Amino acid sequence: MNQRFTKFAAEQTASRGKKLHSELRRAMRTPEDPEAIHDLRVAIRRFTQCLRTFRQFLDRNSTKKIRRRLRKVMDACGAARNIDIALEVLAAAGAGGQTLLEDLRKERPRRQKRLVQRLKQWRRRKRFKALTTVPQFKRTAPGPWDGGSDAAANAARVLTALAAELFESGGRAAEAGSTHEDLHQFRLQAKRFRYTLELFGSVYGEKLDARIALLGGIQDKLGAMNDCVTTLPLIAGNASAEKSVRNLLAAREDDFRRYWRERAARSQANWVKWLGAAPKTAS
């Protein structure tokens, strides 16, 4: 059987594993750099989404072990990164007295230290490679992808379905009665959709970058809301700061719903059509 897509999936996953390994080393060298921590978190998400996307070709137990270990690193990264987020949100909300801000700034080095300890532990045990080494891909497996077809044909079929699901979920999340959890789940779905799209850069060519940029507006709105949600537990007990952040969260939710109605909802048909047709003309 021709295994063209299986090979494509293996190459994409290996590439993201290599990038993750590089970001792990960088974060260990400069844990005080918020950008290094952010980039590591993104590399982990991209790699784990690759494992999730192509799971039909991978051993379930092996990938489950890798994802579980990476979750521990992600949690350690998040603990440090959340302080940076909280400081940004408080500034945007015009909230937080000097004492609160100083307490948060003092907490950042402690969380940073725990992250470094976690990374050093993995390095001492020589697990960096184990964290990012892709399990062997199977020759055949049931699932949405056709291992014997090419990447273009697979993309046209599967990605159009994913896009339709995304816009359906977005419509529900943008409804006035949706909850924070609804919005959170849609944020995760949008992020995973973007990371899956990125896997097919060689199929869609340079035009894919522009398409992905269009998702940026949606993700920016969703991410801004999530930053507020992330901040609230860190300022619990400070009634004034909590009130300001909750007001900012409500304003950001309204901003997302307005953006969805006025711009995003109109592009569904265009997205589905483009994803289905572009691979046929891709070089």
pLDDT tens digits, one per residue of 163-199: 999 999 999 999 988 888 889 899 999 999 999 999 9
Mean pLDDT across the chain, nearest whole number? Answer: 87
> In whole angstroms, how far apart are CA 26 and each of 33, 37, 81, 112?
10, 9, 15, 14
Kindly report, residue by residue over 197-234, the tens digit of the pLDDT: 999 999 998 888 888 887 888 889 999 999 999 999 99
CA-CA distance, 107 to 91, in Å (whole number)?
17
Whether 235 has a pLDDT exceeding 70, the answer reads yes
Query: Which run of H or E residues covers position 165?
Result: helix 151-173
Which residue, chain included where needed, has tokens 């483009």? 274
pLDDT at residue 280, rounded to an integer: 59
The SS3 call for residue 12 is helix
Nearest-angstrom CA–CA distance, 278 and 204: 6
The amino acid at 272: V
For residue 39, what are its two tokens?
Answer: 């980039």
Phi and psi of 127, rounded to 5°?
Answer: -105, -5
What's the predicted TM-score (pTM) here?
Answer: 0.86
Return the closest-CA partner of residue 196 out of 83, 91, 51, 63: 51
87 contacts 44 by C-beta, under 8 angstroms: no
Higher-scoring residue by pLDDT: 4, 139: 4
Q: What percent of the chain has pLDDT over 90?
A: 46
Mean pLDDT for 232-239 is 93
d(CA 169, CA 268) in angstroms, rounded, equals 12
Contacts of 256 (CB under 8 A, 6+ apart): 174, 183, 218, 221, 222, 225
* Predicted confidence (pLDDT) per residue in 107-116, tens digit: 888 888 888 8
pLDDT of residue 135: 72
pLDDT tens-place string over residues 10-29 = 999 999 999 998 998 888 88
Tokens 């969805």 correspond to 260
- The reply to whether domains 4-132 and 151-281 share a CATH topology is yes
Which listed CATH number (3.20.20, 1.10.10, 1.20.120, 1.10.3120) goes with 4-132?
Answer: 1.20.120
Listed by start position, the domains of the chain span: 4-132, 151-281
Q: How far apart are CA 95 and CA 280, in angstroms?
A: 52
Query: Taking 70 as the threshold, does the pLDDT of residue 248 lie above it?
Result: yes
Per-residue pLDDT at 1 = 33
Q: Sorting pLDDT into bands at 50, 70 and 90, what band is 267?
A: confident
Q: Is the pLDDT of residue 128 over 80?
A: no
pLDDT at 2 over 60: no
Question: What tens digit of pLDDT does each residue of 40-94 get?
Answer: 999 999 999 999 999 999 888 888 888 888 888 888 888 888 998 999 999 999 9
So what's the pLDDT on residue 140?
62
Please name the fold of domain 151-281: Four Helix Bundle (Hemerythrin (Met), subunit A) (1.20.120)
Of residues 15 and 266, more confidence is placed in: 15
Placement of tokens 């035009």 in the chain = 207
Query: The tokens of 271 are what?
Result: 């997205």
